[in-house]
Amino acid sequence: MYNGFNNQEMEVYAMKYADIAPLAAALNRNIGKVIVGKARETELILAALFAGGHVLLEDVPGTGKTTFAKSLARSLDCAFARVQFTPDLLPADITGMRVLNQQTGAFAFLKGPVFTNVLLADEINRATPRTQSALLECMEERQVTEGGETYALEAPFLVIATQNPVETQGTFPLPEAQLDRFLIRVSLGYPRTRDEAVALMQRFAADDPFAALEPVAQKGDLAGAARLCAQCHVSEAVMAYIADLAEAARDPEKVRLGPSPRAMLALMRAAQSLAAIRGRDYVIPDDVKELALPVLAHRIVPRGLGDHARAEEFLRELLDRVPVPTEAGA
């Protein structure tokens, strides 16, 4: 699986395996200066980032999706761009277009907002399928092809797409092929307790904490983290466990579409990153179990009137039923 960084970039930024956990902890703390009570969700998103994957944030308006993406980009000292997806948005509005230079009489490529490090595709399901598909090449190959020319996207490149699960009128559901491009699907949700709600109001009462947020890492640090996360040991027993989960999730009597081979690789890569973030150099079955829902649920289409909640329920049943290896860290 492509991790979003080339070999030269990975050699420039030297990092030790033991540096990954402190890096992730620093990023989590820094984002936590703005986003209240979402340490676990932040950890999952960082695992996706370290694995070179993209994130789908599905939640109702006002839960901090845009603020989270901006805080992540600033914490990494990365370039950030936000595109509000609407029905009249065209592919060229995202990727860029060829324009005529009046002085030279030649056409030149004008880069679109996708040429950034962190791209927030806000309410992605409000754009037409034609516009949504403009992101496919960007997300998978990290490049844009226009007029027979190919333009590479600067690494790292992370797409954080949002969609509102409640307001579906006038929307265009993401096709399965595009959902499969997102490594994880996460919901930030409402404050879990009254204390969190009060802390949120206190934090924003006098000023916006995002304005004072400072970077705690450089985007180049991600290159070394990605290389080292990919070296995290995955035993054959854990690989077999991932394969068993994927095979069980392809039950033709219960699903119309199950996890693809890309989904299995995504689950393994995410588990490697999560293990590294938590200070281990090996993956355990609990890493796989914790990531199974955010990595696999949006890739499953249940039979009948299937929805995301039913897919998650189906996966929970599988996690209780599929045998777990007992000695995975060896």
DSSP 134-163: HHHHHHHHSEEEETTEEEEPPSS-EEEEEE
Establish whether the linkage from the previous residue to 156 is cis, with ω within 30° of 0.
yes
CB 267 within 8 A of CB 307: no
The Cα 90–Cα 112 span in angstroms is 11
Taking residues 95-116, report their average pLDDT.
Answer: 89
Structural domain includes residue 9: yes
- 3-19: string of b/e by CB count within 10 Å (b at 16+)? bbbeeebbeebebebee
Does a structural domain hold residue 256?
A: yes
- pLDDT at position 305: 62
The pLDDT score that the predictor gives to residue 14 is 64
Residues 295 and 156 in one domain: no
Q: Which of residues 189, 205, 221 is at a domain's end? A: 205
210-219 pLDDT per residue, tens: 999 999 998 8
Q: Is 292 exposed, middle or buried (0-12, 13-18, 19+ CB in 10 A)?
A: buried
Query: In this structure, what token pair is assigned to residue 84?
Result: 């509000």
Q: Is residue 210 part of a domain?
A: no
What pLDDT, on the 0 to 100 scale, is given for residue 104? 83
What number is the average pLDDT over the span 141-148? 89
pLDDT of residue 109: 87
Give the confidence band of 7 by pLDDT, cuts at 50, 70, 90: very low
- Please report which helix (H) or strand (E) contains residue 213, including its range: none
For residue 286, pLDDT over 50 is answered with yes
The 10 Å Cβ neighbour count of residue 242 is 24
Confidence of residue 2 (pLDDT cuts 50, 70, 90): very low
User: Is the domain of 179 the same as that of 266?
Assistant: no
Contacts of 148 (CB under 8 A, 6+ apart): none
Same domain, residue pair 143 and 23 = yes
Q: What domain count does the chain have?
A: 2
Name the pTM for this structure. 0.88
Q: What is the pLDDT of residues 46-70, one digit of tens each?
A: 999 999 999 999 888 888 999 999 9
- Beta strand spans in 172-229 (E): 182-186
pLDDT, residue 174, reads 87
* CATH number for the domain harbouring residue 253: 1.10.8.80
- Closest Cα to residue 293, out of 312, 273, 271? 312
Q: Which residues contact 19 (CB under 8 A, 6 or more apart)?
A: 224, 225
Q: What is the CA 57 to chain-centroid distance, rounded?
A: 8
- Tell me the C-alpha distance between 24 and 144, whole Å: 30
Mean model confidence pLDDT for the chain: 89
**Measuring CA to CA, which residue among 267, 222, 278 is closest to residue 244?**
267
Does 252 map to a domain?
yes
193 and 256, same domain (yes or no) = no
Same domain, 316 and 261: yes
Q: Say whether pLDDT at 169 is over 50.
A: yes
CATH of the domain at 188: 3.40.50.300
Tell me what pLDDT residue 9 has: 42
Q: Assess whether pLDDT exceeds 70 at residue 4.
A: no
Least confident of 9-13, 74-78, 177-181: 9-13
Pair (128, 277) in one structural domain: no
Enter the DSSP assignment of 323: P
Strands 301-302 and 255-257: antiparallel
In a domain, 47, yes or no: yes
Phi first, then psi: what are they for 197, rounded to 5°? -65, -45
Confidence of residue 107 (pLDDT cuts 50, 70, 90): confident
Residue 153 lies in a domain: yes
Query: What φ, ψ does residue 306 adopt, rounded to 5°?
Result: -75, 145
Residue ending a domain, choose from 205, 220, 249: 205
Are 295 and 258 in the same domain?
Answer: yes
Residue 122: give the domain boundaries: 1-87+115-205
Q: Which of 190, 205, 220 is the last residue of a domain?
A: 205
* 138 shares a domain with 246: no
Half-sphere exposure of residue 200, counting CA atoms within 13 Å on the CB side? Answer: 16
Which whole number is the average pLDDT over 299-320?
A: 86
Q: Do residue 189 and residue 299 come from a single domain? A: no
Identify whether residues 58 and 197 lie together within a single domain.
yes
Position of tokens 């000292």? Answer: 77
Q: Is the pLDDT of residue 117 over 80?
A: yes
Do 194 and 238 reside in the same domain of the chain?
no
In a domain, 109, yes or no: no
**Distance set, CA 265 to CA 51, 114, 261 (Å):** 10, 25, 6
